[in-house]
Structure 1
Amino acid sequence: VNEIKSTNQAIGGSAEPNSNVFVVLANGKILETKADAEGNWNVELLDGQSLIGNETVKVYAKDLAENQSDTVESEIV
């Protein structure tokens, strides 16, 4: 997961290529996106959503066989 700042309108990072990526915000909302062929992913916040400093975002991925990665926690700065 790339560094997440409270001013960001998107969250990005890298995962296994073509995997589904799930971003769990501090309020429990889940945003979903797909990593590209090189494993890069980016998900935009929905209208009205914001990031608050010191909160934690959790990210995990599932590959095409539905194997789930470890969850990574990243603090918003």
Structure 2
Amino acid sequence: MVRSTDPNGGDAARGRGAARALIERVAEAARERGASRLYWTTGQDNVTARALYDKVARFHGFVRYDYPLR
């Protein structure tokens, strides 16, 4: 299993396929190392990124909660 946070290519690369290429390269490297899945997190309101992620992966409906310790 490999985890990433919001794999994007940055604002300058938006719309040029950089994020998709990054995801594909990370997936390839993860497969080579025997990982069984790749997942990442992004903001619920990150509409642009989520449009891509909906095309290349499956959303399973999980929402993250943080419990502050300090």
More strand per residue: 1 or 2?
1
Query: What TM bracket, shorter-length normalisation?
Result: under 0.3
Q: TM-score scaled to structure 2, two decimals?
A: 0.27
More helix per residue: 1 or 2?
2
Whichever of the two has the greater Rg, that structure is 2
